[in-house]
Amino acid sequence: MTYCLNPKCRHPENPIDRAKCESCGNDLVRLRDRYRVSQALAHGGFGATFLAQDEGLPGEPICVIKQLRLSVDDPNVFEMARDLFEREAKTLGKIGNHPQVPRLLDYFEEDNQFYLVQEYVNGPTLQQEVKRFGAFSEAGVKQFLSEILPIVQYIHDQRVIHRDIKPANLIRRVEDCKLVMIDFGAVKNEVNNTINSQSLHTTVTSYAVGTAGFAPPEQIALRPVYASDIYAVGVTCIYLLTAKAPKDFDYHPSTGEMLWEQKVRVSDSLAKVLKKMLEASVRHRYQSATEVLDAIELEPYEDSLASSMASNRKSLPNSDRSGFTDRSNPGEGYNPSIVQMATSIRERRVKSIESNPKSSVDVAQELKSKTWKSKITSSSIPLTKNLPVARINSHTLLSDYINGKRDFAMQNLSMLDLERADLTEVNFHGCKLHKTNLHKAILFNSDLGQASLNQASLKEANLSKAYLSHADLEGADLRGADLSNAYLNHANLRGANLSGANLTNAKVSEEQLAMAKTNWMTIRPNGKRSVL
């Protein structure tokens, strides 16, 4: 099929062999004598997006073409739209080297029309994902934040504000299940707009761009800042958790803040992070994506950290509160999982600084701003790798679960007998579950990210919607397990037995499955049986 680019054409679809549009008579020429438009993808206020084939290259690869399209003839509006369009091209050319941002392939003017050609990203948007599969779990939203925030930080490091982050502009790429951020038509490039401002964070733009509900107050008031994108990511999280658009929520009559907290079921710690992301006041909002990432890394342990520190202070005599003198008996308040977490975060920060060197002043300011870091490294919590690992038995775990406890993160649960246990929405993140018996256990919507499940028995277990990113499942028995809609990105499946397992709509690559054992009864992510 060849698509007519005449904005006023009522029936733009034409057979591939036609030279003129059968509806309007417009010439059906190839753009730049190489791009043949075959399908319309979307229409917006300033343009239209099409699917095209690049017939100038071997194999005629698919690409995306954006055409500047206006519904009015006002010259001022045209200049504004053209400015946005050219800015998008320049920005994509600058930041398109990131693997999760579409690459700019071409940019040209033809017959007084402006065209931008970019990489085609194959996959559903997050909006389409939610409409098809329903709302995300808390673990799913945390995974989303861990994926999207590094992209946002990269964009901000290029001195660019996206200004239109929303589920419809985030695509889950089919090839590797990674998120890709699209539609940079609303970007604000900070580089050349500092003349009237003493700070990059107060630069005034000429016009407001964004999507109602996802754009914060300062952006609507023509004063977007980097934290404006943080707000949009926060609103996206609420959409993912509820499957409700911002217009479906009530707003506080005095502050204008979205009243979302009664509509979601998340931990208090994650709710605290989301609340700060969605602050109407820029001053009280997170100022960077890195700040949010730091908070997300710490939040699962926040309550435990606080209680552990409080217990340590109470259990030690006054003379010893500056630190433990006898590490073989660290006190009743000592929690090895907190020590492990603290050490892990500190080591990650050191590696980050080594890989991204900064001046001593920058590092000092960064450490000063992270108040939690000083708590973790304080002498009230000894950071040592030689302390005993906490153990918990099957009876205690099940009893705690029945009494409402859901967070068992970082625990050593190896070789426990949890057969047929109902552990719906349990948090086993980072747990040691080596050879643990979870035969026919219910782990629906549970967090098993980074857990060590090597040689565990998960035969006929319910792992639907479970989060298993970076989990070690080497040699695990998953025969007949329900892994529908499970998130298995980067999980180690070497030698895992997936015979008869249901992987419908699971996020897992063919490379991962190739390392596992499957048979003709295994239902693959596309819903079809394996072929022997």
The CATH number of the domain holding residue 431 is 2.160.20.80
136 and 69 fall within a common domain: no
Mean pLDDT in residue range 467-485? 94
Q: Among 252, 148, 166, which Cα is nearest to 209's?
A: 166
Mean pLDDT in residue range 502-528? 91
Write out the H or E segment, with its range, that includes residue 401. Answer: helix 394-402
216 and 80 fall within a common domain: no
| Rounded Cα–Cα distance for residues 208 and 164 (Å) | 11
Q: Which residues pair with 529 in a beta bridge?
A: 523
Mean pLDDT in residue range 248-270? 88
Write out the H or E segment, with its range, that includes residue 286. Answer: none
92 and 177 fall within a common domain: no
161 and 269 fall within a common domain: yes
Q: Which is the catalytic residue, given 54, 164, 407, 477?
A: 164
What's the pLDDT at 531? Answer: 57
106 and 14 fall within a common domain: yes
What's the pLDDT at 195? Answer: 31
Confidence tier at 4 by pLDDT (50, 70, 90): confident
Does residue 305 carry a pLDDT above 90? Answer: no
CATH code of the domain containing 82: 3.30.200.20
Say if CB 228 and CB 202 are below 8 A apart: no
User: Which residue in this structure is represented by tokens 């975060």?
Assistant: 345
Mean pLDDT in residue range 394-403? 89
DSSP symbol at 381 = S
The answer to the question of residue 67 being in a domain is: yes
* N-term to C-term CA, the chain: 37
What's the pLDDT at 296? Answer: 85
CATH code of the domain containing 195: 1.10.510.10
pLDDT digits (tens, 9 = 90+) for 151-192: 999 999 999 999 999 999 999 998 888 999 998 866 666 543
The answer to the question of residue 378 being in a domain is: no
Phi, psi torsion values for 113, nearest 5 degrees? -120, 150
The answer to the question of residue 367 being in a domain is: no
Confidence tier at 88 by pLDDT (50, 70, 90): confident
The answer to the question of residue 374 being in a domain is: no
Mean pLDDT in residue range 386-412? 80
The answer to the question of residue 254 being in a domain is: yes
What's the pLDDT at 417? Answer: 92
26 and 141 fall within a common domain: no
Q: Which of 95-104, 167-176, 188-197, 455-464 has the lowest mean pLDDT?
A: 188-197
Say if CB 486 and CB 464 are below 8 A apart: yes
97 and 182 fall within a common domain: no
The count of other CB atoms within 10 Å of the CB of residue 77 is: 15
Say if CB 143 and CB 487 are below 8 A apart: yes
The 3-state secondary structure of 220-251 reads HCCCCCHHHHHHHHHHHHHHHHHCCCHHHCCE
What's the whole-number average pLDDT of the chain? 79
- The total number of structural domains in the chain stands at 3
Does residue 61 carry a pLDDT above 60? Answer: yes
| Rounded Cα–Cα distance for residues 351 and 141 (Å) | 26
At 103 the three-state DSSP class reads coil
Confidence tier at 382 by pLDDT (50, 70, 90): very low
The answer to the question of residue 331 being in a domain is: no
Q: Among 10, 11, 9, which Cα is nearest to 1's?
A: 11
* Percent above pLDDT 90 for the chain: 42
pLDDT digits (tens, 9 = 90+) for 328-360: 333 333 344 444 554 555 555 555 544 554 443
68 and 187 fall within a common domain: no
Confidence tier at 464 by pLDDT (50, 70, 90): very high
Mean pLDDT in residue range 29-40? 86
Mean pLDDT in residue range 118-145? 92
37 and 173 fall within a common domain: no
Question: Which of 284, 300, 316 finishes a domain?
Answer: 284
136 and 277 fall within a common domain: yes
What's the pLDDT at 391? Answer: 72
The answer to the question of residue 262 being in a domain is: yes
pLDDT digits (tens, 9 = 90+) for 423-438: 999 999 999 999 999 9
- Domain hosting residue 101, numbered range: 2-119
Written as one letter, the residue type at 67 is Q
Confidence tier at 66 by pLDDT (50, 70, 90): confident
**Region of residue 60 (left: phi > 0; alpha: psi -120 to 50; beta: else):** left
> Residue 164 catalytic?
yes
Say if CB 180 and CB 100 are below 8 A apart: yes
Question: Which of 61, 84, 119 finishes a domain?
Answer: 119
Mean pLDDT in residue range 507-526? 91
Length of the chain: 532
User: What totals of helices (H) and strands (E) does the chain contain, helices first?
Assistant: 13, 11
What's the pLDDT at 386? Answer: 41
What's the pLDDT at 472? Answer: 94
- What is the number of alpha carbons within 13 Å of residue 62 lying toward its C-beta? 8
115 and 131 fall within a common domain: no
Mean pLDDT in residue range 111-138? 90
Question: Which of 231, 256, 284 finishes a domain?
Answer: 284
Instruction: Between 379 and 508, name the one with better pLDDT.
Output: 508
Say if CB 435 and CB 452 are below 8 A apart: no
Mean pLDDT in residue range 396-409? 89
Extract the tokens encoding 71. Answer: 């519904």
Q: Is 278 exposed, middle or buried (0-12, 13-18, 19+ CB in 10 A)?
A: buried
Q: Which residues pair with 117 in a beta bridge?
A: 65, 106
| Rounded Cα–Cα distance for residues 41 and 84 (Å) | 20
What's the pLDDT at 71? Answer: 62
Extract the tokens encoding 458. Answer: 């998960």
The answer to the question of residue 148 being in a domain is: yes
Angle between helices 336-355 and 302-315 (to 10 degrees): 120
Q: Which of 65-74, 136-145, 231-240, 341-350 has the lowest mean pLDDT?
A: 341-350
Does residue 375 carry a pLDDT above 70? Answer: no
pLDDT digits (tens, 9 = 90+) for 10-26: 888 888 878 888 888 88
Q: Record the pTM.
A: 0.57
210 and 192 fall within a common domain: yes
